[in-house]
Amino acid sequence: MGLGLIMWRSSIILICAVLFTSPLHAQRELESVSVARQFVLPVFTHTQRAGKSTLTGTASAVVISPGVLLTAGHVVTTGDIIVIKRNQRINVRVYRIDKELDLALLIGQVDCPCVKISDRDPHKDEDAIGVSFPLPLLYDTQILSRGHVQGINSNNLLITTTHAAPGGSGGGVFARRGNTFVLIGLITAIGSVNIGPPLLNVQQQLTQITFSVPASVIKTFVDNLPLDIK
């Protein structure tokens, strides 16, 4: 058999393999990434005045163990907090807020799926998945985006190119470890730049740049809690 014929047959086999396996591989990859969605819930904060409940803000939260959620410290107060899971309204309470770290722990009757906090901070250029509920009352949907880790800046914040938007604070940034996902960051802010005269402070949001509290800081925050809360 000539060399040209062998190469021709090999090319046909390779093309067929790509055609028949790529869609299946892509579907499995999509299903795998979608797993990260189940760890993040929308948050609605309320205040009580004169017997009337008023919505004061929206955010996101990550379930880290049965009955325990993490969110951003700047989005919660001591008022009423409601999370939504499977169209069910669940009242939760603030257990602890650390304004300096911008972390808050919520307690309520929320079951798993839960996500483990990563044992280490991610490497630069590692794949990352961001999941949050930006403006849930307006968009009424959960947003998942892919990006990459850009590093940890001088303010000890994890920077990724996952997309987020207002209301996404408290959402999670995840990375794959083996066959599962772990939490590598908790979203607290997005990028912005001043596009007008300095005195006007006109800001343009850069939704493709996400700032998060890194896993090492989250882990220290959680490890200082009573054992029966973790």
Cα–Cα distance for residue pair 62/42, rounded to 1 Å: 9
Range of the domain at 105: 36-113
Cβ count near 5 (within 10 Å): 9
Is the pLDDT reported for residue 175 higher than 90? yes
Based on the domain organization, do 143 and 98 belong to the same domain? no
Domain boundary among the residues 113, 131, 159 is at 113
Based on the domain organization, do 196 and 129 belong to the same domain? yes
Q: Is residue 204 part of a domain?
A: yes
pLDDT digits (tens, 9 = 90+) for 17-26: 444 445 544 4
Cα–Cα distance for residue pair 105/103, rounded to 1 Å: 7
Predicted structure pTM score: 0.79
- Residue 156's pLDDT band, with cuts at 50, 70 and 90, is very high
Q: Which class for 193: exposed (0-12), middle (13-18), buried (19 or more C-beta within 10 A)? A: exposed
Are the C-beta atoms of 181 and 198 separated by less than 8 Å? Answer: no
Residue with tokens 């009757």: 109
